[in-house]
Amino acid sequence: MSYGPLIDNLIDSLQVLPGVGRKTAQRMAMHLLERDRSGAQRLASHLDESAQKIKRCRCCQNLTEFETCVVCGDKRRDQSILCIVESPSDLQAIEQSGHYRGYYFVLMGHLSPLDGLGPEEIGLPKLLERVDAGLFSEVILATNATVEGEATAHYIVELLRDRDLEITRLAQGLPTGGELGYADFGTLNHAFTGRKKLDL
Contact segment (CB under 5 A) with Zn ion among 54-62, 139-147, 150-158, 170-178 equals 54-62
Q: Of these, 69, 91, 111, 142, which contacts Zn ion (CB under 5 A)? A: 69
Site membership for Zn ion, residue 59 (CB under 5 A) = yes
DSSP-derived 3-state class of residue 198: coil
What percent of the residues of the chain are helix, what percent strand, and what percent coil, each to the nearest 5?
Answer: 45, 15, 40
Task: List the alpha helices (DSSP H) in the chain.
Answer: 5-14, 22-35, 37-53, 70-73, 88-97, 124-133, 147-160, 185-193
Site membership for Zn ion, residue 72 (CB under 5 A) = yes
For residue 57, the minimal CB distance to Zn ion (Å) is: 3
Which of residues 55 and 163 has its CB atom nearest to Zn ion in the complex? 55
For residue 59, the minimal CB distance to Zn ion (Å) is: 4
Site membership for Zn ion, residue 87 (CB under 5 A) = no
CA 127 centroid distance within chain? 15
Closest CA to 83 of 61, 65, 111: 61
Site membership for Zn ion, residue 82 (CB under 5 A) = no
Which residues of the chain form contacts with Zn ion (CB under 5 A)? 57, 59-60, 62, 69, 72
